[in-house]
Every structure is written in C-alpha cells, then in structure tokens.
Amino acid sequence: MLNMDTPSPKRAPARRTVLRSTDKTPQSEPPDAKRIVIVDDHPLFRKGLQEMIHSDGTFAVCGEAGNAAEAMDGVRKLHPDLVIVDLSLPGANGIELIKNIRAEFPKLPILVLSMHEEPARTATS
C-alpha cells in the first residue's frame, strides 16, 4: 500500500540536447572528408546516421544538434560542408532552420530528412 504521507520521488529535469562536436572519427577517415552537422531531435537516430556516415570514410560528422537554435550555433562554429536537417524539430521547425541557414550561408548544401510522405505536408511544415 502506498503511504500518502511520503513525498513522491522528484523527477529528473528534462534533458536538453546540446550541440556537440564529434571528435571521435574513424582512423581511416581521409583528411579531406566532407564535414557534416546532423540536426534531428531523436538522439538514437542521430547516432545511427552518424555511424552510417562514418562507415563510408568520405564524410565526417563534425557536430549534431537536437533543435534549430543549437543547429545555428553549430553551423556558425563548426563551418560544415553539409547540414542534414529533419523537418520535424521542437520549437522552430526545419523549414525555419533552413531559411535561417540560407540567410547566413547561402551556398551551404542542406539535405532534408522527413518522415512525411506527402509533398504538401513537407512543404508546409
């Protein structure tokens, strides 16, 4: 039986995803590898994508972010060759992030990820 006089355990505060530089790249990575920043709010997906990218040897993930604000900070600090952006992000969505990246870095390539099948849904996200 639950004792109602006992205070309930406190929940840990929600974890915030922080942009981080990923220095753990494979030894076989060529020095001229293209540098990528991954932006997705799912850490497990980012990790899996990072593993796939590193296995190629042509690309290196130099940073990752879980939201648009962290992503902009990372792009400014890390100067990647490519940004991979999920359209469904907390706060400012991927479309807004892409607009902001384009405004500051008009020539930076951006690869868009989306779980949405309909082009109309994707375009209005």
Question: What confidence tier does 77 reach under pLDDT thresholds 50, 70, 90?
Answer: very high
| Per-residue pLDDT tens over the stretch 4-39 | 344 444 433 333 334 555 554 444 456 789 999 999
Residue 13 in any domain: the answer is no
> Could you write out the three-class secondary structure of the chain?
CCCCCCCCCCCCCCCCCCCEECCCCCCCCCCCCEEEEEECCCHHHHHHHHHHHHHHCCEEEEEEECCHHHHHHHHHHHCCCEEEEECCCCCCCHHHHHHHHHHHCCCCCEEEECCCCCHHHHHHC
* CATH code of the domain containing 120: 3.40.50.2300
- Report pTM: 0.72
Domain of 80, in residue numbers: 28-124
Residue 89 in any domain: the answer is yes
Tell me how many domains the chain contains: 1
